[in-house]
C-alpha cells in the first residue's frame, strides 16, 4: 500500500502513496485548487468543476474524482483551467443573491473567497429571472435556509444522507430549475429534521446558516434588570480559538471565561460542571436498570438531535432513553433554582441563562415543551466568536481567568463529553464506583475513543467486578440506525448506547467553526479534550467536590425527588408516519 509513486504537479515531481485522488496529492504537496462540492468526509461528487486540472496538456479533469496515476503531468493553473474556473465563478455569481455585505456567511463564504482570489470584477452574464421557488426558510429555531444563495454543490444533501441517513434535504426539479429542498418544498420544521446543522457546516455559501441569537443576547446583557449568566459546553473550548487564528484543538477555556466577562456576562459557569452532574444521575440510573435488568440498553440523552430522531422515527424505543436532561438542560434550572442562595441580589425571575454550544440542535432543545423557560438563549461557538469580534476584544492576548463558583469546577470525565465516546467513558468511570464502591485505576478506555470516519461505531466491554458491561458508542444517526435495527432484530446485547448525531461527536458539531475542509480538525479538537482530561487532577465525575456540595446543600440525594424534578425530563411521540406507509 505504501509504495511511493510520483507524478508531476506544475512541472514539479511529487511523491504520493495511498492518496485516492489527484486533489489529495495536490493538497498534500503544498498546492491547491478551489473546491465547493468536495468535502473529505463526504463521498466524491464532482459537480462544481472548480477543481479541474489539465492533464498532460490535453485533458481537462476534475481532480476531486480522478485517481492519481504514475508519471502524469498535472497543471493546476494553466490558462485553460483558469479560464474555465473564472467562467464557472461568473456563472455561479450571475445566479446568486449577491448581497454579500449583509450575508451571514460574509468573510467565511467560499464563493466570495474564490471570487476575490480569481479577481471577478465583472460578470458578463445577466442575472436571469428570480427563482420563484427561492425561499427563505427560518421556520425552525436552529437553521435558516436561503435557496437564492445555493450553488447546488450538494454537500448538504450528502451530509444529511451520509451522516444522518435521513435525507431531509434532496434535489428537486431539473436543469437550471434544480433546487435543494425538503420533501415537497416543505420547511424544515415541517419535516423530521433533527437540526444537527451538519448541512450548515458543509455549506460553502450562505445558503444554510445558523439562526442567530446574537442580538437577543446583546439585549439581555445590556438590560440592567437582568442577571445574565453564561455556560460553555465542553467542545467549545477546543474550537473557538480557530476563529482567532489559534491552532485547532488548543484549549482556550481560560480566555473564553475572560472574554465572557468582558462581554458583560454577570457570572460565568461551565456546562462541564453539569456534565459531571449528568454522570451522577445517569450513572445512577444505569446501575439501577442494570441491577433490575430492565430498559436496557440505556440510550444516552445528551444529544438533542438524537433525542429528536428517536421521538420522530422510533418512539417505541423512547423508554430506553435516559430520562436525564442534557448537561445544558441540567445546568439552567439548577442555576435558576439555587443561584439566589449563593449570590446576593439574584432573583430567580431576573436570571437569564445563555449557553454557548457547539451545536445548532441545542437551540431547538431549549425550545422543547418540557424544557421551556430554563435555558433562555443558545449561542453557537461561531456566534460567540462573532460577539467577541464585535466587542473588539483581543482574544489571543487575553489572560486566562476562572469560572465562577459554585458551578464552574469540572472533572476530566466531563470535558471528554465533547468527543464521541466521552459520555460513555465518563459514565463507566463512575458506574464502576457506584456498583463496587471501589475506584477504577485504569480509567482510559481507548477503545471508546476516536472521532474519524472509521470510528463511528465502537464497541467496548467493561468488567465491573464480574459483570461484563457492553458499551456501544456511535456517532452519526446513520450508524445509530444500524444499532437500532440490530436491537430491534434482537441481535444485540449491549447495555449502553451512546449516540452523538454529528460525526465524531460535539467537537465536530454543526455550530462549531467551519471544519469541513479538513477531516483532521475534529481529531485535533478531540485530542485537546483528552489532553485536558489527562492533565486534570480530578478525572471522575463523582469526585467533583462542587457537584457533591450541590447534592449536599441543595439537591439532596442522587436520583432523589428534587433531583428528579430538576434534572430529569420526559419525551413525547412525534412520529408522523413512515415512507413505508405511502401508498
Binding site for another protein (CB under 8 A): 21, 44-50, 52, 60, 62, 64-67, 80, 83-84, 87-88, 91-92, 94-95, 124-126, 128, 151-152, 154, 170-171, 173-178
Alpha helices in 118-264 (DSSP H): 155-162, 198-202, 214-222, 253-263
Rounded Cα gap, residues 401 and 137, in angstroms:
40
Q: What is the DSSP string of 507-574?
A: GG-TTSSP-TT-TTHHHHHHHHHHHHHHH-S--SGGG-HHHHHHIIIII-STT-HHHHHHHB------
* Cβ neighbours of 386 (radius 10 Å): 18
Alpha helices in 1-154 (DSSP H): 22-28, 79-94, 110-117
CB of 105 to another protein, least distance (A): 19
Decide whether 69 or 341 has the Cβ nearer to another protein. 69
Min CB(572)–another protein separation in Å:
32
Rounded distance, CA 31 to CA 19, Å?
A: 15
Cα separation, 387 vs 221, whole angstroms: 12
CB of 177 to another protein, least distance (A): 7
By beta-carbon proximity to another protein, the closer residue of 91 and 538 is 91
Least distance from another protein to the Cβ atom of residue 176, Å: 4
Give every CB contact of residue 131 below 8 A, 6+ residues apart in sequence. Answer: 147, 148, 177, 179
Q: In whole angstroms, how close is the CB of 268 to another protein at the nearest point?
A: 46
What is the gyration radius of the CA atoms in the chain, in angstroms?
Answer: 25
* Residue 182 CB, nearest approach to another protein (Å): 15
Closer by beta carbon to another protein, 176 or else 570: 176
Return the SS3 of 371. Answer: helix
Is the CA virtual torsion 203, 205, 207, 210 positive or negative? positive
Calpha distance 373→391 (Å, rounded):
28
CB of 47 to another protein, least distance (A): 5
Question: Taking the complex as a whole, how short is the minimal distance between the CB of residue 501 and another protein, in angstroms?
Answer: 23
Identify the CA nearest to 326 among candidates 310, 341, 306: 306
Q: In this structure, how many other beta carbons lie within 10 angstroms of the beta carbon of residue 385? A: 24
Closer residue to another protein (CB): 158 or 314: 158
Nearer to another protein, 65 or 531 (CB): 65
Report the C-alpha gap between 542 and 438 in whole angstroms.
12
Q: What is the DSSP letter of 295?
A: S
The neighbour count for residue 195, using CB atoms within 10 Å, is 27
Smallest distance, another protein to C-beta of residue 65, A: 3
**Which of residues 84 and 246 has its CB atom nearest to another protein in the complex?**
84
Tell me, letter by letter, the H, E, C secondary structure of 139-176. CCCCEEEEHHHCCCCCHHHHHHHHCCCCCCEEEECCHH
| Complex with another protein: residue 88 or 480, whichever CB lies closer | 88
Q: Do 562 and 333 meet the contact criterion of CB atoms below 8 Å apart?
A: no
Residue 78 or residue 457: which is nearer to another protein going by CB?
Answer: 78
Q: For residues 80 and 288, which CB has a smaller minimum distance to another protein in the complex?
A: 80
| Secondary structure letter of residue 42 according to DSSP | S
Q: Closest CB to another protein among 80 and 295?
A: 80
Angle, to 10 degrees, between the axis of helix 304-313 and the axis of helix 477-488?
Answer: 50
Distance (Å, whole) CA 126 – CA 158: 31
Strand pairing class (496-500; 5-9): unpaired
The nearer residue to another protein, 90 or 401, going by C-beta atoms, is 90
User: Least Å distance between CB 184 and another protein?
Assistant: 15
Q: What sign for the dihedral angle of Cα 210, 331, 269, 305?
A: negative
Smallest distance, another protein to C-beta of residue 234, A: 38
Residue 49 vs 574, nearer CB to another protein: 49
Please tell me the distance from the alpha carbon of residue 266 to that of residue 217, in angstroms, as a whole number: 13
- Tell the smallest beta-carbon distance from residue 111 to another protein (Å): 11
CB 301, min distance to another protein, A: 34
**Closer residue to another protein in complex, CB, 174/292:** 174
Q: Which of residues 92 and 339 has its CB atom nearest to another protein in the complex?
A: 92
Smallest separation (angstroms) from another protein to the CB of 115: 14
Residue 303 CB coordination number (10 Å): 30
Instruction: Report the run of H or E that residue 270 belongs to, with start and end.
Output: strand 267-270
Amino acid at each position: 500500500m505504501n509504495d511511493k509513486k510520483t507524478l508531476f504537479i506544475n512541472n514539479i515531481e511529487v511523491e504520493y502513496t495511498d492518496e485516492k485522488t489527484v486533489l489529495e496529492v495536490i493538497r498534500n504537496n503544498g498546492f491547491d485548487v478551489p473546491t465547493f462540492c468536495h468535502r473529505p468526509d463526504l463521498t466524491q461528487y464532482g459537480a462544481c468543476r472548480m477543481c479541474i486540472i489539465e492533464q498532460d496538456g490535453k485533458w481537462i479533469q476534475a481532480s476531486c474524482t480522478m485517481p492519481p496515476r504514475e508519471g502524469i503531468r498535472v497543471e493546476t493553473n494553466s490558462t485553460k483551467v483558469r479560464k474555465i474556473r473564472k467562467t464557472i465563478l461568473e456563472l455561479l455569481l450571475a445566479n446568486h443573491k449577491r448581497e454579500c455585505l449583509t450575508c451571514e456567511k460574509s468573510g467565511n463564504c467560499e464563493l466570495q473567497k474564490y471570487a476575490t482570489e480569481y479577481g471577478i470584477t465583472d460578470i458578463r452574464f445577466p442575472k436571469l429571472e428570480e427563482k420563484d421557488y427561492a425561499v427563505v426558510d427560518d421556520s425552525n429555531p436552529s437553521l435558516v435556509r436561503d435557496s437564492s444563495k445555493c450553488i447546488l454543490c450538494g454537500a448538504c444533501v450528502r451530509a444529511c444522507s451520509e451522516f444522518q441517513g435521513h435525507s431531509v434535504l434532496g434535489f428537486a426539479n431539473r436543469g437550471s430549475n434544480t433546487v435543494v429542498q425538503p420533501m415537497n418544498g416543505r420547511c424544515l420544521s415541517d419535516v423530521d429534521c433533527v437540526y444537527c446543522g451538519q448541512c450548515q457546516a458543509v455549506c460553502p455559501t450562505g445558503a444554510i446558516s445558523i439562526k442567530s441569537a446574537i442580538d437577543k443576547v446583546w439585549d439581555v446583557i445590556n438590560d440592567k434588570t437582568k442577571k445574565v449568566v453564561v455556560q460553555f459546553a465542553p467542545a467549545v473550548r477546543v474550537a473557538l480559538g480557530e476563529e482567532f487564528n489559534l491552532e485547532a484543538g488548543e484549549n482556550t477555556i481560560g480566555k473564553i471565561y475572560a472574554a465572557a466577562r468582558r462581554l458583560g456576562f454577570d457570572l460565568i459557569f461551565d456546562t462541564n460542571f453539569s456534565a459531571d452532574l449528568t454522570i451522577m444521575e445517569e450513572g445512577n440510573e444505569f446501575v439501577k436498570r442494570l441491577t433490575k435488568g430492565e430498559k436496557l440498553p440505556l440510550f444516552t440523552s445528551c444529544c438533542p438531535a438524537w433525542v429528536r430522531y428517536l421521538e420522530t422515527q422510533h418512539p417505541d424505543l423512547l423508554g430506553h432513553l435516559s430520562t436525564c436532561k442534557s448537561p445544558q438542560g441540567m445546568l439552567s434550572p439548577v442555576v435558576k433554582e439555587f443561584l439566589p442562595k449563593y449570590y446576593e441580589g439574584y432573583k430567580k425571575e431576573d436570571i437569564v441563562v445563555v449557553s454557548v454550544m457547539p451545536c445548532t440542535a441545542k437551540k431547538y432543545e431549549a425550545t422543547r415543551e418540557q424544557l421551556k423557560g430554563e435555558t433562555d438563549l443558545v449561542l453557537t461557538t461561531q456566534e460567540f466568536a462573532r460577539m467577541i469580534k464585535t466587542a473588539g476584544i483581543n482574544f489571543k492576548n487575553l489572560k486566562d481567568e476562572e469560572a465562577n463558583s459554585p458551578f464552574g469546577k469540572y472533572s476530566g470525565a466531563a470535558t471528554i463529553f465533547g468527543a464521541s465516546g466521552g459520555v460513555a467513558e465518563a459514565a463507566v468511570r463512575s458506574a464502576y464506583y457506584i456498583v463496587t464502591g471501589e475506584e477504577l485505576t485504569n480509567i482510559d478506555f481507548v477503545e471508546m475513543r476516536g472521532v474519524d470516519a472509521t470510528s463511528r461505531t465502537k464497541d467496548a466491554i467493561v468488567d465491573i467486578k464480574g459483570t461484563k458491561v457492553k458499551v456501544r458508542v456511535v456517532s452519526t444517526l446513520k450508524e445509530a440506525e444500524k444499532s437500532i435495527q440490530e436491537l430491534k432484530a434482537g441481535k444485540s446485547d449491549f447495555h449502553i448506547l451512546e449516540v452523538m448525531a454529528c460525526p465524531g461527536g460535539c467537537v465536530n458539531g454543526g455550530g462549531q467553526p467551519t471544519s469541513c475542509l479538513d477531516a483532521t480538525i475534529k481529531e485535533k479538537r478531540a485530542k485537546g479534550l483528552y489532553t485536558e482530561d489527562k492533565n486534570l487532577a480530578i478525572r471522575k465525575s463523582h469526585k467533583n467536590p462542587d457537584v457533591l456540595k450541590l447534592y449536599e446543600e441543595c439537591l439532596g440525594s442522587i436520583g432523589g425527588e428534587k433531583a428528579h424534578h430538576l434534572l430529569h425530563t420526559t419525551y413525547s411521540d412525534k412520529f408522523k408516519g413512515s415512507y413505508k406507509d405511502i401508498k
